[in-house]
Amino acid sequence: MTVEPRVDGPLGGFRVLDLADEKGLPCTRFLADLGADVIKVERPGGDSTRARPPFSEDLPHAERSLYFLHWNANKRGITLNLKEPDGQALFRELVRRADVVVETSQPGTMDRRGLGFAALQAVNPRVVMTSISVFGQTGPYRDYKGNELIGFALGGVMALSGEPHGPPCLAAGDLASGMASMHAALATQVALFHRVRTGRGQHVDASVAEAAAHVGGYVVPFYSYHHEKPVRVTHKETSFELHDIYPCADGGVRLFILTRDHWRVFVEWIGSPPELQDPIFEDQDVRRDNRDLIDPYVREFCRQLTKRELYTEGQARHLAVSPMRTPAEYVASEQTRAREYFVEMDHSVVGRYRQARGMHLFSESPAQMRCSAPLVGQHNEEILVGELGLSRDDLIGLRAANVI
Amino acid sequence: MSALPLDGIRVVELCTGAAGPTVTKCLAEYGAEVLRVESRRRPDTHRGGANRARWNKSPSFVKLHRGKKSVTINLQTARGQALVLDLIRASDVVAENFSLGVLDRWGLGYERLRAAKPEIIVISLKGLGHTGPHAHHITWGPNLLCLFGMTHLWNFPDADVPTQEARVQHPDFMAGVAGAAAVMAALLFRERTGKGQFIDAAQVEVGANLLGPAYLDAIVNHRDPRPTGNRRPGAVPHGAYPTAEGPERWCAISVEGQEAWERFRAAIGDPPWSSDPCFATPLSRERHADEIDRLVGDWSRNHTRQQIMGRLQAAGVAAASIQDVDDLFERDPHARARGLLVELNEPEMGPVVTEYPPVRLSETPAQIRAPAPVMGEQTGQVLRGILHLTEGEIEELAAEGVLD
């Protein structure tokens, strides 16, 4: 079986070997969405992320993980045991034909397998190796154990989430790993761009804990300049934007009233209460100091209307009002449907379903949803026989030796 | 200052807020020359807003605009628009995130730019994208968090109010980094084909990408996912635990799998409760997670965060201090060793600290080459150097109010 070169998308023609777990999957999915030929290299039996919930029909099975399904769309997949010399040798053969390797193992692991950056560069001087780890490839915590929680905790953002005096709350969606992955996807392409001029690849070292520091707002420059440490605050926060969640007739709604003009329109919308008519409230600082006076009016107004009414009427007045939606409500929303964010796909075990496409729409090189996540070892023959020139007997031998 | 991969790439920034400026900030870190076009008449919030006394003294502005050049041009004037078009002709990339339709009104829509320079790459960031019935909606980062379900999911399962996630401007920053990665893909495409393009970036679709598995749960299993707080399947204990340092100082502990549990037990001194058969296996621990959380809290409450992290990590158990911003500055040897915090000397502020990117490239590491510019700092330099205007022409433009 021959392989058609994949040319869809701006990264068509680049090949990526994907050894990533949770920490790096958003990076390799991003590259795959842009048209790179991403080959997921899993251990025999399948990657550990196939055990992550949710599962279709709640059946925990390697081909039913919806987590795996989301993050591995648009990729091909093979199995290869990188602990075995035969697996390592085949991996080096793949590296010879690849542009990028993305890996997320504990620092030092790839070196022990003879697959560290120096070894890969010896095979292919053009290869870019991107390592995403919790702490990074250097520094005193390098060999510590970690995951999303640990990285998020160190970054300074988790401490600000949750209610005062209660425990901090971990974000949904592996936010720190997602941020590390986006920086890694950026840096990987910067390295490819550099390679156009120099012909040489390089090693990219991304850290989830450092990325966590980039998720948040401006606490680092604020602390250094104003020497003020932000603390967790109650929902009577002393902020002027009124950006709390206000309960409404059927859920919650968020406002973000920033400018003078917004405030004027907002006061009119809520019925021009005499106490709020004073132009002095047009000043952000005055609003901040009088939050307790303003808040009951906002609360009472929101209570009487539905999410949809507040959203529609607020936006009609060009006010930043948004409903607090559940995931299912986002899937069903008009805007999401109009932009075809969820694309119909087919998977031999899960069946027909819809899943999120890539993040960006490119006018000249539109990347498309090409395929659902690979089954375990789905492309072993296509790649190991079709490209590396192994025979079917070789495959049988490798299977018996637990290499594929 | 050594060479960087994007040396020679010029970017025009037509942006306010955080997402668009983060795209160009990331490109500047890899060598791009970024020309931020701004206005004294309509200064953006991070510049300091309407209050001139605050200009050039905004910590958030330093984070968003370090390493760029500030060019003040009045885009309400035809000559100002023509000047910007000339700058774009001399550039490779345009990043913009004004409200939908603003650039068209200024005669700087994509079709016009493409006619002026066919190989131009334009990234246009909007909260909800360029198309669809809600494309014109006003949305700030906290509004977006509500719209795609993040606010709903970033919480504890039994909470009766949404948690305090509003300090986190996600997805502004993530959309910025992902946007820079999309621009790199377009640059690589242009390198090979000579073609530019238009990139439609919806911040909500970048943020939503991380919640893909939750949407699949809704689509495939017809279930609306609920918040899970600090719980993650397969790990007990996993979450935030109190420490001896007081009510706002927490630590994170994550014990995943049987071996880690045995190491954890030994590290905390094999207390009698830990050998209770109720806690003997992963399944039994999942079933008694609340009780284990309480017992682990009783232990952690007697130790400092550094003691907990040190003792558990020495035993190979994932643990970390849940750091506040002051910890990042004063108590994080790892951040110090890796150089996470970078001090810049701002012209009117003095020293301000911001974060180095969470990624290191072995051959071409990112550089922060300059502090954030004061308003209009490079207007003359850019007009002379890039557009070859004479002093006389510049004076005339200033007198006519074209230079702002």
Per residue in B162-204, pLDDT (tens digit) is 766 656 667 889 999 999 999 999 999 999 999 999 999 999 9
Is B270 inside a domain boundary?
yes
Together in a domain, B151 and B24: yes
Please tell me the total count of domains within chain B: 2
B247 and B390 both lie in a single domain? no
In the prediction, which pLDDT does B166 show?
A: 52
Same domain, residue pair A39 and A162: yes
> Which residue, of B271, B293, B322, is where some domain finishes?
B322
Residue B229: inside a domain: no
Q: Are residues B62 and B106 in the same domain?
A: yes
A312 touches chain B (CB under 8 A): no
Mean pLDDT of chain A: 92
| Residue A157 shares a structural domain with residue A203 | yes
Q: Do the domain assignments include residue B292?
A: yes
Q: Does A228 touch chain B (CB under 8 A)?
A: no
B246: left (phi over 0), alpha (psi -120 to 50) or beta: left
Identify whether residues B186 and B242 lie together within a single domain.
no
Distance CA A149, CA A136 (A): 15
- Chain B residue numbers with beta carbons less than 8 Å from the beta carbon of A346 are none
**A157 and A86 in one domain?**
yes
pLDDT digits (tens, 9 = 90+) for A95-128: 999 999 999 999 999 999 999 999 999 999 999 9
Is the CB of A326 inside 8 Å of chain B's CB atoms?
yes
Among B293, B322, B351, give the residue marking a domain's end. B322
> Are B309 and B356 in a shared domain?
no
Q: In which band, very low, low, confident or very high, does the pLDDT at A5 lie, cut at 50, 70 and 90?
A: very low
The band of B141, judged by pLDDT with boundaries at 50, 70 and 90, is: confident
Per-residue pLDDT tens over the stretch B237-273 = 999 999 999 988 999 999 999 999 999 999 999 999 9
In a domain, B218, yes or no: no
The domain spanning residue B284 has which CATH number? Answer: 3.30.1540.10
Checking if the pLDDT of A399 tops 60, the result is: yes
Task: Residue B179: name the closest of B361, B13, B27 by CA.
Answer: B27
Chain B residues within an 8 Å CB radius of A287: none
Same domain, A75 and A126: yes
| Chain A neighbors of B314, CB-CB under 8 A | none
- A244 vs A356, which has greater pLDDT? A356
Is B20 inside a domain boundary? yes
Among the three residues A291, A324, A357, which one is the final residue of a domain in this structure? A324
Instruction: Check if the beta carbon of residue B274 is closer than 8 Å to that of residue B333.
Output: no
Task: State CA B2 to chain mean position distance.
Answer: 26
User: Does one domain contain both B311 and B359?
Assistant: no
Q: Which of B297, B322, B347 is the last residue of a domain?
A: B322
For residue A365, name the pLDDT band (cuts at 50, 70, 90): confident
Report pLDDT for B167.
Answer: 61
Residues A296 and A357 grouped into a single domain: no
Which chain A residues are closer than 8 Å to B145 by Cβ? 254
Same domain, A91 and A200: yes
Which residues span the domain enclosing A391?
15-215+339-400
Q: What does the pLDDT read at residue A3?
A: 39
Q: In a 10 Å sphere around its CB, with 0-12 CB exposed, 13-18 middle and 19+ buried, how is residue B246 labelled?
A: exposed
Inter-chain residue contact B26 with A149, CB threshold 8 Å = no
State whether B288 and B370 are in the same domain. no
Q: Is A4 within a domain?
A: no
pLDDT computed for residue B258 by the predictor: 94
How many pairs of residues across A and B have Cβ atoms under 8 Å apart?
509
**The model's pTM:** 0.96
B332 found inside a domain: no
Domain identity same for A99 and A202:
yes
Give per-residue pLDDT as tens, A123-168. 999 999 999 999 999 999 999 999 999 999 999 889 988 877 789 9
Q: Does A16 touch chain B (CB under 8 A)?
A: no
Could you tell me if A316 and A343 lie in one domain?
A: no
Is there a domain that residue A222 lies in?
no
Q: Is residue B370 domain-shared with residue B277, that is, in the same domain?
A: no
Would you say residue A330 lies in a domain? no
Residues B128 and B155 in one domain: yes
Choosing from A276, A293, A324, the residue where a domain stops is A324
Let me know whether A254 and A383 are in one domain: no
Residue A294 lies in a domain: yes
pLDDT, tens digit, for every residue of B86-120?
999 999 999 999 999 999 999 999 999 999 999 99
Compute the average pLDDT of residues A44-61: 96
Q: What is the dihedral of CA A156, A161, A165, A166, to 10 degrees?
A: -120
User: How many other C-beta atoms are found inside a 10 Å radius of the C-beta of residue B257?
Assistant: 11
Its domain, for residue B311, covers 235-322
Tokens representing A100 are 């990028």
Q: Dump pLDDT digits (tens) for A330-345.
A: 999 999 999 999 999 9
DSSP readout, A136-158? -SSSTTTTS---HHHHHHHTTSG
Contact assessment for residue A117 and residue B362, using Cβ atoms and an 8 Å cutoff: yes
DSSP code per residue over A243-269: -SEEEETTEEEEEE--SHHHHHHHHHH
Instruction: Examine the domain organization and report whether A165 and A272 are in the same domain.
Output: no
Min Cα separation B82/chain A (Å): 25
| A229 within domain boundaries | no
- What is the CATH number for B189? 3.40.50.10540
Please compute the mean of the pLDDT values over residues B139-154 and round it to a whole number.
91
Mean pLDDT over A233-254 rounds to 75
The verdict on B307 and B375 lying in the same domain is no
Which residue among A150, A222, A324 places its CB closest to the CB of B59?
A222
Residues of chain B in contact with residue A350, where contact means CB-CB under 8 angstroms, are 220
Domain boundary among A298, A324, A350: A324
Count of domains forming chain A: 2
On whether both A204 and A265 belong to a single domain, the answer is no
Any domain includes B267: yes
Q: What is the CATH number of the domain that holds A260?
A: 3.30.1540.10
Start-to-end CA span in chain A (Å):
19
CA of B391, closest CA in chain A: separation in Å?
A: 37
Residues A319 and A288 in one domain: yes
Of the candidates A304, A313, A329, A312, the one whose C-alpha atom is nearest the C-alpha of residue A249 is A304
Confirm whether B159 is domain-assigned. yes
Question: Within this chain, do residues B47 and B118 fall inside the same structural domain, yes or no?
Answer: yes
Q: Which residues neighbour A17 within 8 Å (Cβ) at sequence distance 6 or greater?
A: A39, A41, A91, A94, A95, A98, A100, A101, A102
- Do residue B117 and residue B264 come from a single domain? no
